[in-house]
């Protein structure tokens, strides 16, 4: 790895799937090989690259072509970029969705916290992508911040026609968690749960997520897990740090790390229609041992 990045790896007890990685972010430029090697060393075998705009979705597809069987991607437009959603955007996303490594539509949804695009623009782009997901049969990769009521209303109207959906990077309260679970959605948990300042409510809530609806992600390079024994100097999150999210969840959830690793991985492979794995083929090792490489 680069000299500015600390190798502080906690090895996962079973192969993990990172369902949300912003690998097209400039922080990963010219470091793809190193990033993937480090992730594999930590037991993170599969990465889903998040598409946040047409341009980023196309870039994600190109990366997937370089690393088949390790990388997959989503195709979508983030609510921050909803103002850029044009008449031909859905057609472009539809073309991308036909690629074998495209596993979901999104990242899409509503974000009324910062309103980089107006609420009206966000709703329009969101509904267009819902319709695309219904048309293609792809599951949805969803974002929501400070917009639960409106997003829940919209999803309720379309839910019967959607194949599936996951609320990525969930950071909401009990009402929103239960509301999304009532719609039979999956929940993605990030390093937010590791934050002793902002994540305490989520630490209490996470045990309410049914095991068959739980998935984990880094949202790298953002949301560096604050429970890491030694944080990297550049403060950038990486897919290799996903086991720290697993470790934190296991402290609140009534399951051990090995079961959580297996189940969240299986959930992701089923949700994104990825090849299943046989856990009997996993290498036996102590699932609670830490392996640090400084």
Domains of the chain with bracketed CATH: 16-273 (3.20.20.140)
pLDDT for 283 equals 53
Distances (CA, A) of 118 to 58, 112, 158, 172: 25, 8, 22, 21
Backbone angles phi, psi at 74, to 5 degrees: -110, 155
In angstroms, the CA 18 to CA 30 distance is: 20
DSSP 170: -
What count of other Cβ atoms lies within 10 Å of the Cβ of residue 279? 13
Task: Confirm if 9 and 240 have CB atoms less than 8 A apart.
Answer: yes
pLDDT for 282 equals 66
Task: Confirm whether pTM is higher than 0.85.
Answer: yes
Task: Confirm if 244 and 18 have CB atoms less than 8 A apart.
Answer: no
Q: What is the pLDDT along the chain (294 residues), one digit of tens a residue?
A: 433 344 578 999 999 999 999 999 999 999 999 999 999 999 999 999 999 999 999 999 999 999 998 999 999 999 999 999 998 999 999 999 999 999 999 999 999 999 999 999 999 999 999 999 999 999 999 999 999 999 999 999 999 999 999 999 999 999 999 999 999 999 999 999 999 999 999 999 999 999 999 999 999 999 999 999 899 989 999 999 999 999 999 999 999 999 999 999 999 999 999 999 888 766 544 433 333 332
Backbone angles phi, psi at 55, to 5 degrees: -60, -45
pLDDT for 293 equals 31
């Amino acid at each position: 790895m680069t000299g500015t990045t600390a190798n502080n790896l906690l090895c996962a007890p079973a192969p993990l799937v990172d369902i949300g990685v912003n690998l097209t972010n400039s922080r990963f430029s010219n470091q793809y090989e190193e990033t993937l090697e480090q992730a594999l060393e930590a037991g993170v075998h599969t990465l889903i690259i998040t598409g946040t705009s047409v341009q980023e979705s196309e870039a994600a597809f190109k990366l997937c072509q370089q690393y088949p069987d390790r990388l997959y991607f989503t195709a979508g437009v983030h609510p921050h970029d909803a103002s850029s959603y044009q008449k031909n955007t859905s057609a472009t996303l539809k073309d991308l969705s036909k690629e074998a490594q495209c596993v979901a539509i999104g990242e899409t949804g509503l974000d009324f916290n910062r309103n980089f695009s107006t609420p009206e623009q966000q709703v329009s782009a969101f509904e267009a992508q819902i319709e695309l997901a219904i048309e293609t049969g792809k599951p949805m990769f969803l974002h929501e911040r400070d917009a639960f009521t409106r997003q829940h209303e919209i999803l309720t109207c379309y839910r019967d026609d959607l194949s599936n959906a996951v609320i990525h990077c969930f950071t909401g309260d009990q009402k929103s968690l239960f509301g999304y679970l009532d719609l039979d959605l999956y929940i993605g948990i990030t390093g937010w749960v590791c934050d002793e300042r902002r994540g305490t409510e989520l630490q209490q809530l996470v045990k309410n997520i049914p095991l068959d609806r739980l998935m984990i992600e880094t949202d790298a390079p953002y949301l560096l897990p604050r429970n890491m024994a030694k944080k990297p100097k550049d403060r950038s999150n990486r897919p290799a740090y996903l086991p720290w999210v697993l470790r934190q969840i296991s402290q609140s959830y009534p399951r051990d790390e090995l079961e959580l690793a297996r189940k969240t991985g299986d959930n992701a492979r089923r949700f994104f229609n990825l090849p299943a794995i046989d856990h009997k083929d996993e290498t036996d090792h102590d699932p609670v041992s830490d392996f640090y490489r400084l």
